[in-house]
Amino acid sequence: MWRLTDEQEQLREHIRGVVREQIQPRVREIDENGEYPRDLYGVMCREGLLALTVPPAYGGRCESDVSWVAYVEELAKVSGTVSLMAAYVKLVTLPIVLAGTEEQKQRLIGPLIRGERLGSFALSEPAVGSDPGALETRAERRGDVFVLNGQKRFIGNAGLSDDYVVFARTGGPGPRGVSALLVDGGSPGITVERLRTMGMPGWQLGAPRFEDVEVPAENLLGREGEGFKLAMAVFDRSRPTVAAQAVGLAQGAIDLATDYAMRRHAFGRPLLAHQGIQFKLAGLEAETAAARALTYQAASYVDSDDPALSKTASMAKLIASDVAMKATTEAVQILGGNGYLRDFPAERMMRDAKVLQIYEGANEIQRLVIARHMAREASRREPLFPACMPGAQDIDRGQGARADGDGRAHAESVGALG
C-alpha cells in the first residue's frame, strides 16, 4: 500500500547518497562544536531536498507526504539535527501554505525552500507550551500596524531567522483570541537569547523577545482570531514528519547495533549469536516497522486530507518517538562501554531521540488528542455491547442514555477532564 513509485525510490536512493557522502562525514564534528551547520543547509538546498517540503503548486517538488516522510527517515537515520533542519522548513512553510494570501506565498515560500531565507515557528512561551490557547504575547492593532510585545521560548532558528511566524493574542482570552503574524526577523525590537540543548547539536534554539515590534497589518496570516486553529492544523500535518524523524533515528540505532553485534564477540561467539541480543533487536525491528506503517498512514491522510488525520498523526508521533527513545537507549546498551563514548554515534542518537517525545506536542498531549477523538467516535456510535452499558435498563424503558445524547455529554467531559 505504501510502496513508493520507481521515481520516488530513485529520489530516495539519491538522498541516501547525499547523506552518505555529504552529511555523515560531518555529523561528529557538528556534535563536537555545536555550531549551526549552515553549509549543510546549503547542501540540502542545492540537492533540492528542501523543495521536497512543499507541493509543486508552491514552487516545491513534494508530490506526496508519503514520499516526504520516507525522505525524512533517510536523513534521520544518520543525523537527527539535519533531519530537524529539513523538518523545520516544513513546519514554517505549512502555516503559509495553509493560510497565506497568494502574495505571502509568492514572497516567502520560494526563498525559504531555496535557503535564501530562514524561518521560525514561534508559538511556545516561557509559561505556555502544551496550552497555546493561553499564550500571552500580545499584538495590538494601531492603524496600519500591529504592535507586538512578548517573549517566546524553544523557537528553532531563533537569532538566524529572516521570517518569524508568530502566534500572538489580538483579542480576548482563550484560543479564539489568538492570531498568526508574519514578522520580519530584521524588525527593530527583536532580541534573542540562545538556549543550550541536550541533543540535536547545532540546532539553533532560542528565546526571542519582541518589544514594540511594528508588524504591517497586511502581514496577518489567515484571519484574525484563527491563529490557534491554524497552529492545530499545522501540527496535524507536521506530526507525521516528527514521527518520520523518530522512525529514522530508531532504524539508524537498530542498524548500528546489529552491525556492531555481528562483529563484536563475547563468550566465544558474536553478540548477535546470543539469544538475549537477538530478541532485543528483533523486537525493536518489529516495533519500528509498526511505527513506520502508522507514520506512512498518517502521511497518506495528509495527502487525502482525511478526517482521521489528527488522531492518526498523534498516534504516529506518540508511538514512533517512544520507539526511537527505546531503540536508541538499547543501542547504547548493546554497544556497552562503547555505547557510552562520544566517539560512537549511539549516545548522540539517544540524546537526539528525547526531544521527539517533547516537541510539537509532548506525548502526554498526543494521548490527550487521541483520547478526545476516541470519545467523539464513541459518542457517534452505538455501544458494541449496549446491554452492558450503565443505564441500559433505563434505555429498555425508553428513558436512559443514548449514543447521540448522553454520549456527546460524556465526550465533552473527557475533553474537559483531559
Contacts with ligand COS, residue ranges (CB under 6 A):
121, 123-124, 129-133, 175-176, 228-229, 232-233, 235-236, 310, 359-361, 365, 368-369
CB of 314 to ligand COS, least distance (A): 9
Report DSSP letters for 229-248, one per residue: HHHHHHHHHHHHHHHHHHHH
* Best CA proximity match to 57, nearest among 87, 102, 12, 6: 102
Query: What is the 8-class DSSP label of residue 23?
Result: I
- Classified as helix, coil or strand, 183 is strand
CB of 131 to ligand COS, least distance (A): 6
Sign for the CA dihedral angle at 181, 187, 189, 195 comes to positive
Cell of 14: 539519491
CB of 372 to ligand COS, least distance (A): 7
* Best CA proximity match to 23, nearest among 416, 345, 361: 345
- Please state the φ and ψ torsions of residue 125, each to the nearest 5 degrees: -135, 170
H-state helical runs in 275-405: 275-304, 309-335, 346-354, 363-380, 392-396
Residue among 87 and 271 whose Cβ is closer to ligand COS: 87
- Residue tagged active-site, from 360, 364, 377, 382: 360
Cα 351 to Cα 324: distance, rounded to the nearest angstrom? 11
Residue among 27 and 205 whose Cβ is closer to ligand COS: 205
Query: What is the 8-class DSSP label of residue 21?
Result: I
* Best CA proximity match to 382, nearest among 401, 398, 399: 401
CB of 184 to ligand COS, least distance (A): 21
CB of 239 to ligand COS, least distance (A): 8
Q: What number of residues does the chain have? A: 418
The residue nearest ligand COS at its CB is 361
- The yes-or-no answer on residue 136 being catalytic is no
Catalytic positions, please? 360
